[in-house]
Structure 1
Amino acid sequence: MAYVILGLLHLWPQSLYDLVKNFEAGVSLFYSASSGSIKRALDGLLERGAIEADDGDGPRSRKVYRVTAVGRREFHEWMTGPLAGPDAEAAALPRLYFLGLLAEPERGPVLAGILARIDADLARLTDLATQIEGVDVPDELRDVFVFQQATLDYGITSYRHSLEWFRDLAQRHADGSAQR
């Protein structure tokens, strides 16, 4: 979550209220967070010097957060680094959302990293499907197995679609037609 907040703060300085509204308005498409979890992430970012805060002016005097040089460096390293975590989609979509914040030459390698991660995860699922072919399932577990296999099939289909979609985007980016 910290990197998503850093990405949002790259756009403009924001209060906690603004950040919550921005999560609701767009980020929630790929990442959900409560105001309490956003506040805890802000506190952690403040502690390590990735952001700074100023008391705002006006009757509500909301604290306004902005990215520091440390935060810009952390965000850049995260955007251009390997995709971590067990879920490729959860790792890829925040980077896709903020890809326009990177310099043009850095975007292709990020897309290539996303493609490599999706391809590796698809290979893992495909291998699993191959391993369970012809497994002798006891009659009392056959119904359970059918739906577990359907879940695996869904995952494979989803990863194939993601791979195709990201390949198309990477190609459009390489051709210069990804920009609107």
Structure 2
Amino acid sequence: MALRYALLGLLSGGPASGYDLAKAFEGELGTYAWNAGYNRIYPELARLADEELIEPASQGSRGRQTYAITQAGRRELHAWLMKPRTSRTVRNEPVLRMFLLSALNPDDARTVLRDIAANSERQIAELSQALESTPPASPHGRLPFGWLAAGYGLHQYQASRDWARWALGELDKATRQPPAPIP
């Protein structure tokens, strides 16, 4: 269901083809937020067009169709963004892994936790660089697309790193091991 809103959100920035939209999902959007391929994007574009939430904007060479969001599509996107999240369905594999971490022996659990801390450090460095190099405001008085999401990601990875370090300490206390160096 969220794919439709991702597409509407992308199209709110200007007309784009299915190919252009798929490329957006191959970048940061697909890496950090929502992954979708051509086989899901094109049928969803057809549904959005049938519901008159998007419309053809232009026809390019070789039949390449460019779509634009309609006013109805903008209203639909706005309503979804303003509506509090009501779904209780959660599928967060990293958190599930944390619930099940006790199934590992302590040394393997330490390896997993060190990997989480190290990966988080890499992501923190990458996102920090992206946030430093992106201008804080667009000509329309809005933040650049993805700016707030990058900030969210930065804070999430900082929290993940800090949690992994804390969990290593707790594991060391539980197993009465001397504290190991924390990455």
TM-score (norm 2): 0.48
